[in-house]
């Protein structure tokens, strides 16, 4: 009964976004809440921006006050429910310090949640599993060397090295290569992301992602995503296939429909999880505050592929000096 109610609520929210909010203003908050949120967001956003620019001025030069800065801080509150496991709650903090004046030389990068610390593909693939599985002590501090190449014309490569900020300190080295192709004269595009990493405490890892997609209309986009990953820590090869339809309902709401299959092992291939996911995302307040409703239906090998329902409710707040409204590439 709970899953049925969840999907009814999701459908109601989508209909509400389509029919009622098409010409609305840019906030769902009452005036008294907006008066408290805005000054707080401005103070924290300016602090994030100024901190990164001050660090960059120390390392990079005279342009730190004028160039574009993509530093951000994101706070999240999440409630998860999984059939048979009950309900759990979690708070997350993610950030990135961006140092733009070193773009064509060495780039100093400080970030939380590096890709290599986010676990197996099964742990990464489901939004409700993400916060439970990630290592909370995974911030990295490093230097990246970037090639000044357009990935539409050539492979764009990046070499980085640094340390993971936990005790004992964990040095790392990584190589990243990206490419984007327009397939013929049609609307299809193919994007490739590839990374090889070494962390002292966890060993080597390699990951390749191939993403082919096309717009179906001004508000719909279709994607097929293939990912293969190997981590020395687990010593197994994993792969996933995702079919995804993204639908923008209006300027402040979007839906994503996904069908995901996850497998492992090269010598004895087997599928470990299939699941269907719908994600509704709402810009609650001016590109700052977002809400997600994510129902899922899982068919896991460990449960003999018996169906299990899941539901995630998430609230996130972004802090940046300049508000970026297009967060629907979620």
Average pLDDT, the chain: 78
| pLDDT at position 132 | 42
Pick the more confident residue, 310 or 62.
310
DSSP assignments along 278-314, one per residue:
EEEEEEEETTTEEEEEEEEEEEEGGGTT-EEEEEEEE
Residues 6+ apart with CB under 8 A from 7: 278, 295
pLDDT at 298 over 70: yes
Q: What is the pLDDT of residues 232-250, one digit of tens each?
A: 887 889 999 999 999 999 8
Mean pLDDT check: name the lowest of 55-69, 199-213, 248-262, 281-295.
55-69
Q: Where are the alpha helices (DSSP H) in the chain?
A: 2-19, 31-59, 121-125, 127-133
- Is pLDDT above 70 for 50? no
Decide if 147 contacts 159 (C-beta within 8 A).
Answer: no
Domains of the chain by start residue, with CATH: 2-319 (2.40.160.40)
Please state whether the predicted TM-score (pTM) of the whole model is above 0.85.
Answer: no
- Pick from 210, 60, 72: which is nearest to 144 by CA? 60
**pLDDT grade for 60, boundaries at 50, 70 and 90:** low
Q: What is the pLDDT of residues 89-110, one digit of tens each?
A: 888 877 777 665 545 566 777 7
More confident residue, 107 or 162: 162
Q: How confident is the model at residue 116 (pLDDT cuts 50, 70, 90)?
A: low
Residue 62, pLDDT above cutoff 60 = no
If pLDDT is split at 50, 70 and 90, which confidence band does 54 have? low
Gap between the Cα atoms of 312 and 88, Å rounded: 10
CB–CB of 223/212 below 8 Å? yes
H helix and E strand count, the chain: 4, 14
Check residue 118 and give its pLDDT: 67
Q: For residues 76 and 322, give the distance between their C-alpha atoms in angstroms, rounded to a whole number.
A: 20
């Amino acid at each position: 009964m709970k899953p049925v109610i969840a999907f009814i609520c999701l459908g109601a929210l989508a209909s509400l976004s389509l029919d009622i909010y098409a010409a609305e203003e840019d906030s769902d908050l009452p005036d008294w809440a907006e008066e408290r949120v805005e000054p707080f967001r401005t103070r924290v956003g300016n602090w994030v921006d100024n901190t990164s620019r001050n660090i960059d001025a120390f390392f990079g030069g005279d342009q730190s006050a004028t160039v574009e800065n993509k530093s951000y801080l994101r706070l999240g509150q999440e409630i998860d429910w999984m059939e048979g496991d009950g309900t759990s709650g979690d708070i997350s903090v993610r950030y990135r310090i961006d140092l733009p004046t070193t773009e064509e030389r060495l780039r100093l990068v400080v970030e939380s949640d590096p890709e290599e610390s986010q676990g197996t593909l099964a742990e990464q693939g489901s939004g409700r599993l993400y916060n439970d599985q990630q290592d909370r002590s995974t911030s990295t501090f490093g230097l990246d060397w970037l090639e000044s190449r357009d990935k539409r014309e050539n492979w764009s490569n990046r070499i980085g090295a640094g340390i993971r900020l936990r005790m004992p300190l964990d040095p790392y080295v990584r190589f990243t290569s990206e490419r984007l192709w327009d397939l013929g004269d049609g609307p299809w595009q193919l994007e490739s992301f590839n990374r090889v990493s070494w962390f002292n405490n966890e060993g080597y890892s390699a990951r390749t992602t191939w993403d082919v997609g096309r717009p179906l209309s001004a508000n719909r986009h279709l994607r097929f995503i293939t990912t293969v990953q190997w981590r020395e820590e687990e010593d197994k090869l994993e792969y996933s296939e995702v079919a995804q339809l993204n639908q923008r309902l209006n300027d402040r709401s979007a839906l994503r429909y996904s069908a995901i299959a996850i497998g492992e092992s090269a010598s004895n291939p087997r599928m470990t999880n299939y699941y269907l996911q719908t994600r509704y995302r709402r810009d609650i307040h001016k590109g700052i505050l977002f809400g997600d409703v994510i129902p899922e239906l899982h068919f896991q090998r460990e449960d003999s592929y018996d169906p299990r329902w899941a539901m995630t409710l998430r609230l996130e707040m972004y802090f940046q000096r300049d508000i970026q409204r297009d967060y629907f590439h979620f």
